[in-house]
Amino acid sequence: MSILALITGKTGPSGFGSASTADQVTDGINANNLTAIVTGGASGIGLETSRVLALRGVHVIIGARNLKAANEAKETILKDNGTARIDVLKLDLCSIKSVNEFVKNFNALDVPLNILINNAGIMFCPYQLSEDGIEIQFATNHLGHFHLTNLLLGNMKNTATSTGIQGRIVNLSSIAHVHTYDGGIRFDKLNDKKEYSDKKAYGQSKLANLLHANELSRRLQEEGANITVNSVHPGLIMTNLFQYSGFVIRSLKLLTFLLWKNVPQGAATTCYAALHPSMKDVTGKYYLDCNEMKPSKYARNEILAKQLWDFSNKLIKSIELS
Residues with catalytic function: 196
CA 181 to chain centroid, in Å, comes to: 21
CA angle 198, 44, 62 (to 5 degrees): 105
Residue 292 DSSP SS3: strand
CA 154 to chain centroid, in Å, comes to: 19
- Please give the C-alpha separations between residue 121 and each of 65, 240, 317, in angstroms, as whole numbers: 11, 10, 22
What's the first-to-final CA gap in the chain, in angstroms?
46
Distance (Å, whole) CA 121 – CA 237? 14
Q: Are strands 286-288 and 291-293 parallel, antiparallel or unpaired?
A: antiparallel
Please give the helix or strand (H or E) that residue 133 lies within, else none: none
Strand partners, 232: 172, 287
Strand partners, 227: 167
- What angle do helix axes 302-321 and 96-108 make, rounded to 10 degrees? 90
Amino acid letter, residue 148: L
Q: What is the DSSP annotation of 12-67?
A: -TTS--TT--HHHHTTT---TT-EEEEETTTSHHHHHHHHHHHHTT-EEEEEES-H
Residue 122 DSSP SS3: coil
